[in-house]
Chain A
Amino acid sequence: MAYLAHRTAQALIVLAIAFTATFVLLQALPGDAILIKFESPELGLSPEQIADIRASYGADVPPLQQFLHTVAGFVQGDFGYSVQYGTPVHELIGSALPDTLALAGLGFVTAVLLAVALAFLSTLAPFGWLRQALRSLPGLLVSVPVFWLGIVLIQVFSFQLRLVPVIGADPVQALILPVLTLAIPISAPLAQILARSIDEVQLAPFVAVVRAKGAGPARVLWRDVARNALLPAVTIAGVLVGELIGGAVVTETVFGRAGIGRLTEQAVANQDVPVLQAIVILAALVFVVVNLAVDLVYPVLDPRLKRKAVAA
Chain B
Amino acid sequence: MNALLELEHLDIAYRTPAGVRRVVHDVSFAVQPGEVVALVGESGSGKTTTSSAVLGLLPSGGRIESGAVRLSGIDLAGWNDRRLESVRGARIGYIPQDPVSSLNPVRPIGAQLADVFRIHRRGDRRAVRGRVLELLERVGLDDPALRAKQYPHELSGGMRQRVLIANAIALGPELVIADEPTSALDVTVQRRILDLIDELRREHGTAVLLVTHDLAVAAERAERVVVMQHGRIVEQGTTEAVLDAPAEEYTRRLLADAPGLAEHEFRHPRPPLYLRDADVAAAENPFALVASGLTKTYGLGRGREPFRAVDDVSFRVLRGTTHAIVGESGSGKTTTARIVSRFVAPDAGSVEVGGSEVTSLTGAAKREFRRRVQLVYQNPFASLDPRQTVAEIVAEPLRNFGVGDRRSRAAAAARLIDRVALPAHLATHRPAELSGGQRQRVAIARALALEPELVVLDEAVSALDVTVQARILELLEQLQGALGLSYLFISHDLAVVQRISHSVSVMRHGRIVESGPTEQVFRAPQHEYTRELLAAVPRRPAPTREVFA
A residues whose Cβ falls under 8 Å from a Cβ of B: 2, 204-206, 208-217, 219, 223-224, 227-228, 301-304, 311-312
The 6 A-B residue pairs with the shortest CB-CB distance in the complex, in nearest-first order: A212-B94, A213-B89, A214-B89, A214-B88, A213-B116, A303-B151
Which residue of B is nearest A226, CB measured? B106
Please, which residues of chain A bring their CB within 8 A of the CB of B105? 206, 228, 302-304
Please, which residues of chain B bring their CB within 8 A of the CB of A224? 104, 107
Please, which residues of chain B bring their CB within 8 A of the CB of A208? 57, 94, 96, 102
Which residue of A is nearest B84, CB measured? A214
Are B106 and A227 in touch, CB under 8 angstroms?
yes
Please, which residues of chain B bring their CB within 8 A of the CB of A227? 106-107
Per-residue interface assignment for chain B, residues 163 to 179, with 1 indicating a CB less than 8 Å from any chain A CB and 0 otherwise: 01001100000000000
Stretch at the interface among B23-31, B232-240, B265-273, B301-309: B301-309
Chain B residues touching A, majority SS:
loop
Are A209 and B85 in touch, CB under 8 angstroms?
no
A211 partner, pick from B82, B88, B103, B120, beta carbons under 8 A:
B88
In whole Å, how far is B351's beta carbon from the nearest beta carbon of chain A? 33
B residues whose Cβ falls under 8 Å from a Cβ of A: 55, 57, 81-82, 85-90, 92-94, 96-98, 101-107, 115-116, 119-120, 151, 153, 164, 167-168, 300-304
CA A212 to CA B81, docked complex, whole Å: 11
CA A303 to CA B98, docked complex, whole Å: 20
Are B151 and A2 in touch, CB under 8 angstroms?
no
A214 partner, pick from B90, B96, B97, B103, beta carbons under 8 A:
B90
Are A212 and B119 in touch, CB under 8 angstroms?
no
Are B302 and A206 in touch, CB under 8 angstroms?
no
Are B153 and A304 in touch, CB under 8 angstroms?
yes
Are B301 and A311 in touch, CB under 8 angstroms?
yes
Please, which residues of chain A bring their CB within 8 A of the CB of B57? 208, 211-212
Are B87 and A205 in touch, CB under 8 angstroms?
no
CA A71 to CA B302, docked complex, whole Å: 36
With known contacts A209-B96, A209-B167, A214–B104 Cβ distance under 8 A: no
Are B101 and A210 in touch, CB under 8 angstroms?
no
A206 partner, pick from B90, B104, B168, B300, beta carbons under 8 A:
B104
In whole Å, how far is B89's beta carbon from the nearest beta carbon of chain A? 4
CA A210 to CA B105, docked complex, whole Å: 13
CA A211 to CA B94, docked complex, whole Å: 10
Are B97 and A215 in touch, CB under 8 angstroms?
no
CA A301 to CA B104, docked complex, whole Å: 13
Are A206 and B103 in touch, CB under 8 angstroms?
yes
Are A213 and B119 in touch, CB under 8 angstroms?
yes
Are B102 and A209 in touch, CB under 8 angstroms?
yes
Please, which residues of chain A bring their CB within 8 A of the CB of B98? 205
Please, which residues of chain B bring their CB within 8 A of the CB of A311? 300-304
Please, which residues of chain B bring their CB within 8 A of the CB of A2? 302
Which residue of B is nearest A230, CB measured? B106
In whole Å, how far is B493's beta carbon from the nearest beta carbon of chain A? 24
CA A223 to CA B116, docked complex, whole Å: 13
Are A205 and B96 in touch, CB under 8 angstroms?
yes
Please, which residues of chain A bring their CB within 8 A of the CB of B87? 214
24 CB contacts below 8 A, A to B, read A2-B302, A204-B101, A205-B102, A206-B104, A206-B105, A208-B57, A211-B88, A212-B55, A212-B89, A212-B94, A212-B96, A214-B85, A214-B120, A215-B89, A216-B82, A219-B119, A224-B104, A227-B107, A302-B105, A304-B106, A304-B151, A311-B300, A311-B301, A311-B303
Are A301 and B106 in touch, CB under 8 angstroms?
yes
With known contacts A212-B55, A214-B120, A311-B303, A205–B85 Cβ distance under 8 A: no
CA A223 to CA B88, docked complex, whole Å: 18
Please, which residues of chain A bring their CB within 8 A of the CB of B94? 208-209, 212-213
Please, which residues of chain B bring their CB within 8 A of the CB of A210? 104, 115
Please, which residues of chain B bring their CB within 8 A of the CB of A204? 101
CA A1 to CA B115, docked complex, whole Å: 36
Please, which residues of chain A bring their CB within 8 A of the CB of B88? 211-214
Please, which residues of chain B bring their CB within 8 A of the CB of A219? 119
With known contacts A212-B55, A215-B85, A303-B151, A205–B119 Cβ distance under 8 A: no
CA A208 to CA B59, docked complex, whole Å: 9
CA A214 to CA B86, docked complex, whole Å: 6
Which of A211, A214, A302, A303 gathers most chain B CB within 10 Å?
A214
CA A257 to CA B97, docked complex, whole Å: 59
CA A212 to CA B89, docked complex, whole Å: 6
CA A303 to CA B150, docked complex, whole Å: 10
Are A205 and B97 in touch, CB under 8 angstroms?
yes
CA A215 to CA B88, docked complex, whole Å: 8
CA A219 to CA B104, docked complex, whole Å: 14
CA A227 to CA B107, docked complex, whole Å: 9
CA A304 to CA B93, docked complex, whole Å: 28
In whole Å, how far is B388's beta carbon from the nearest beta carbon of chain A? 30
Please, which residues of chain B bring their CB within 8 A of the CB of A214? 85-90, 116, 119-120
Which residue of A is nearest B55, CB measured? A212
Please, which residues of chain A bring their CB within 8 A of the CB of B104? 206, 210, 224, 228
Are B103 and A209 in touch, CB under 8 angstroms?
yes
CA A302 to CA B96, docked complex, whole Å: 23
CA A205 to CA B97, docked complex, whole Å: 9
Please, which residues of chain A bring their CB within 8 A of the CB of B153? 303-304
Are B102 and A217 in touch, CB under 8 angstroms?
no
Please, which residues of chain B bring their CB within 8 A of the CB of A303? 105-106, 151, 153
Are B82 and A205 in touch, CB under 8 angstroms?
no
In whole Å, how far is A281's beta carbon from the nearest beta carbon of chain B? 34
Please, which residues of chain A bring their CB within 8 A of the CB of B92? 212
User: With A209-B103, A214-B116, A312-B301 given, can you name 6 additional A-B contacts, CB distance below 8 Å?
Assistant: A206-B102, A212-B92, A214-B88, A215-B85, A311-B300, A311-B301
CA A217 to CA B89, docked complex, whole Å: 15
CA A205 to CA B116, docked complex, whole Å: 17
Please, which residues of chain A bring their CB within 8 A of the CB of B301? 311-312
CA A208 to CA B56, docked complex, whole Å: 11
In whole Å, how far is A206's beta carbon from the nearest beta carbon of chain B? 5
In whole Å, how far is A250's beta carbon from the nearest beta carbon of chain B? 38
Please, which residues of chain A bring their CB within 8 A of the CB of B96? 205, 208-209, 212
Which of A210, A212, A219, A312 gathers most chain B CB within 10 Å?
A212
In whole Å, how far is A219's beta carbon from the nearest beta carbon of chain B? 7
CA A202 to CA B117, docked complex, whole Å: 22
CA A304 to CA B101, docked complex, whole Å: 13
CA A208 to CA B177, docked complex, whole Å: 13
CA A2 to CA B302, docked complex, whole Å: 10
Which residue of B is nearest A2, CB measured? B302
A215 partner, pick from B103, B106, B115, B164, beta carbons under 8 A:
B115
In whole Å, how far is A88's beta carbon from the nearest beta carbon of chain B? 47
With known contacts A228-B104, A311-B301, A215–B167 Cβ distance under 8 A: no
Please, which residues of chain B bring their CB within 8 A of the CB of A212? 55, 57, 88-89, 92-94, 96, 168
In whole Å, how far is A111's beta carbon from the nearest beta carbon of chain B? 24
Please, which residues of chain A bring their CB within 8 A of the CB of B151? 303-304
